[in-house]
A and B are shown apart, each in its own frame.
Chain A
């Protein structure tokens, strides 16, 4: 995790949101969201189910119109210049937005052609290799595991070098192994210099991936900062000594990635 977010920048923020409001009928989902995301940062929008994370991402990616407030992405206003915003971003929605009937490679080619790349084939092969999907590239996506789909989904989001990437709950519904694969993929996105806004309801995910964390609660950002800054909001930690037990996740991963002998021993 870097602390680059605290450094000053010459250019403006990659995402700037002021007083964003959105209601679905009577239900007020966003009640004045303010948020700035510096270029090249990974920011986690943390909130429980129904906090409005997806609504915020949809407004920023021009899929929804806000009722009030302003938002700019890469310097373009989402309300008045949606086409320019779409030229700067990519969205990986809550459900893997892949074409099940096409193969993994065809999915990448499809996006490459829609982005008018000169050589979509090379880009597709390169991404398949980067996301460890080369072997599966020729298979229909319907046969993929959840983690593979998500990896393909994220790979599709990278085509055309978008400067801002939105990831809406990238690991929801994935098993622990697939979750680690996706985390790894997200970390590599940031290494490429893109700005990433990801939403999550998992605290550890925000902790693992994000330079900065914004907590969305009841339609407002109630806290924002680096993990260290957020920790300082709470009373000083009390030091106690506890025997370290392996977590269930560590046990699960150790067993499932172990040798076949341990698995067969369990069966007998």
Chain B
């Protein structure tokens, strides 16, 4: 058994090997991607075909109005699988095996994070395809689409690092999935389903100053080929800020876990 190379420059290579492993997990249980997409799709059907007629959003195309918020809900529910996969690695002992091997230690976490972004983008794509079937149309050009993918990926990255924390610390499977419920609920108190102008004062103040509203408004403007204005900077600031805080907390949790 010869080693073709060694040293610390292999962090990226180790991450690639481990990403392949967790993507294999997903390919062998594709239900995790399907179930991630099913709830948002059901919500979309419910809001468009049941509530949609009674909601006055100032838009005659409610699917297109709704889609940005639905995409964020998809991500918020998808990341709970990341926490679950990490939790299972911790439980089974394979986490300790990796940690005792001569590999870049952080690659174990990064592999789960990269896998999460890939899996969530696949789920988001499924939801967009269903929306197209329901009449969603956008004349957005390639650049606008790239911007949408970029914002969704950044949002996924931030929430994924947040999901790493329960993945590392949870004592049971229920504890792992429970943390994502408030995140799934957040879009309901935002501009995702109805304009914030219709909400009573305090609720409206909350809705207009939480991350989901600026992100939803940015994606909606990009889809509608309108100027994104300052929304995009607020959205990016939220995503990057959330990412920095979540990453810091996750790494602190991780260090406590291995000392």
Interface set of A (CB-CB < 8 Å, partner B):
58, 61-65, 83, 86-87, 89-102, 106, 110-111, 113-118, 123, 156, 159-161
Contacts and interface: CB of A to CB of B under 8 A. Distances in A.
Contacts of B227: none
B6 A114 contact: no
Contacts of A156: 97
Contacts of A98: 92, 94
B100 A89 contact: yes
A97 B93 contact: yes
Interface residues of B, number: 30
Interface stretch (B23-31, B34-42, B119-127, B156-164): B23-31
B65 to A, nearest CB: 40
B258 to A, nearest CB: 7
A90 B93 CA distance: 13
Contacts of A93: 93, 96-97
B17 interface: yes
A118 B2 contact: yes
A159 B1 CA distance: 8
Interface in B4-40: 4-6, 8, 10, 13-14, 17-18, 21, 24-25, 28-29
A93 B1 CA distance: 23
Given A62-B100, A93-B96, A99 B21 contact: yes
B179 interface: no
B103 interface: yes
Contacts of B3: 115-118, 160
B5 A116 contact: yes
Contact of A100 (B10, B13, B92): B92
A95 B100 contact: no
A8 B198 CA distance: 86
B10 to A, nearest CB: 6
B77 to A, nearest CB: 21
B32 to A, nearest CB: 11
A63 B28 contact: no
Nearest to B98: A114
Nearest to B8: A83
Nearest to B95: A97
Contacts of B100: 61-63, 86, 89-91
A116 B13 contact: yes
B81 to A, nearest CB: 13
A90 B100 CA distance: 7
